[in-house]
Amino acid sequence: MTAASVPIKAPAAVPAGQVSRRFEVLPQGLEGLVALRRQRLSDARGWLTRMFCALELAQVGWHSPVAQINHTHTARRGTVRGMHYQVPPHAEAKLVSCLRGAVWDVAVDLRQGSPTFLQYRAVELSADNLTALLIPPGFAHGFQALTDEAELLYLHSAAHAPGFEAGLHPQDPALAVDWPLPVDNLSDRDRSHHWLDGAAFCGIPAVGTKAL
């Protein structure tokens, strides 16, 4: 059979809630914030999962090139990192995946005028559940390690800009994040973040996000 005569298969239908056969989309109830469950393709040799696809993820709000990729290691269970964000013009989207262990991943809506301002959502990410969290610009992000030796992979739509970074205290009662373990091992930087209680904080200017 010549190459010209090889029949071409029509692509399989994509089930509702998926942007492709590779990602199941799990909306989190805050505009633009979605969890993505990667679909594993397996055979006798092993398996493959797709970590990122610009074309497919544009359908759920990722519209920029990947500007930076970071890999973090958190040694001790209970450690909290956060809550971090960058302000315009360096506001960033993040796609966060867990490569080892498990974390409780948290995103807080800080967008000015948002009907869900200061609301948060949390998703367990682990090396086993193949779930990532896509966090749009205008959100603060943090996590708690649920296991020792947790490793995360971050894709960023903007490079780290030290002059435009800010943070909120992860135990701020105005956020009321329900951390699953006692908060442990905060860095000096994260411990020094101001609490919003009694402070005049109206959020950060929103940039475009796509509602699901």
Convert the pLDDT of each residue in 125-159 to its tens digit. Answer: 999 999 999 999 999 999 999 999 999 999 999 99
Give which of 16, 26, 78, 22 is closest to 50, Cα–Cα: 22
pLDDT of residue 41: 86
Q: How confident is the model at residue 40 (pLDDT cuts 50, 70, 90)?
A: confident
Looking at per-residue confidence, does 61 or 68 come out higher? 68
Please, are residues 102 and 147 in contact by the beta-carbon 8 Å criterion?
yes
pTM above the 0.75 mark?
Answer: yes
Is residue 15, in this structure, part of any structural domain at all?
Answer: no
pLDDT of residue 202: 85
How far apart are the C-alpha atoms of 154 and 175, rounded to whole Å?
23
Catalytic residue among 85, 154, 156, 193: 154
- Over residues 181-194, mean pLDDT: 94
pLDDT of residue 187: 96
The number of beta carbons lying within 10 Å of the beta carbon of residue 143 is 28
Looking at residue 184, the DSSP 8-state letter turns out to be B
Domain total of the chain: 1
What average pLDDT is seen over the chain? Answer: 88
Is residue 25, in this structure, part of any structural domain at all?
Answer: no
Give which of 160, 139, 153 is closest to 85, Cα–Cα: 139
pLDDT of residue 17: 59
154 is a catalytic site residue: yes
Is residue 124, in this structure, part of any structural domain at all?
Answer: yes
Note down the domain range covering 141. 32-39+49-191
Taking the alpha carbons of 69, 72, 78, 80 in that order, is the dihedral positive or negative? Answer: negative
Catalytic residue among 84, 141, 156, 169: 84
What share of the chain in percent tops pLDDT 70? 87
- The strand pairing partners of 107, in sequence order, are 121, 141
Is residue 6, in this structure, part of any structural domain at all?
Answer: no
